[in-house]
Amino acid sequence: MSLTIACHNDVFGSTGQIEPMQLEEIVAHGYKSVINNRPDFEGGPSQPLNEVIEAKAKSLGLHYAYLPVVSGSITPEQVIEMARLLKTLPGPILAFCRSGARSTNLYQLAQQVR
């Protein structure tokens, strides 16, 4: 299954939930880092666990960060951490959550942090 990635610019994109096997496609698209914004078990038992996705990402040479955010409840601390990740992780960066909207909102808020 091919990923639908919203490319916001040359350094950041967002997408919905990924499967570990899709990380090879993410590498092929040129991404160097992945940020997981979806809490474990949010989607029930069929949702891949963070640790499984992280292990596969690292095995492919991707940088990886887990910043779980509850939908509709982004905190100022999470925005600051997202801004830090965007500054420190190698780009381009792909962030994901259930649909991609939460990651996009978090990205837009992080752009306002100085």
Q: What local confidence, expressed as pLDDT, does residue 33 receive?
A: 98
- Quote the pTM value: 0.95
Q: What is the distance between the alpha carbons of residues 113 and 108, in angstroms, rounded to a whole number?
A: 10
* Residue that is written with structure tokens 């991404």 in the block: 31
Per-residue pLDDT of the chain (114 residues; tens, 9 = 90+): 578 898 889 999 999 999 999 999 999 999 999 999 999 999 999 999 999 999 999 999 999 999 999 988 999 999 999 999 999 999 999 999 999 999 999 999 999 987
> Hey, which bits of the chain come out as E strands?
6-7, 12-15, 33-36, 63-66, 93-96
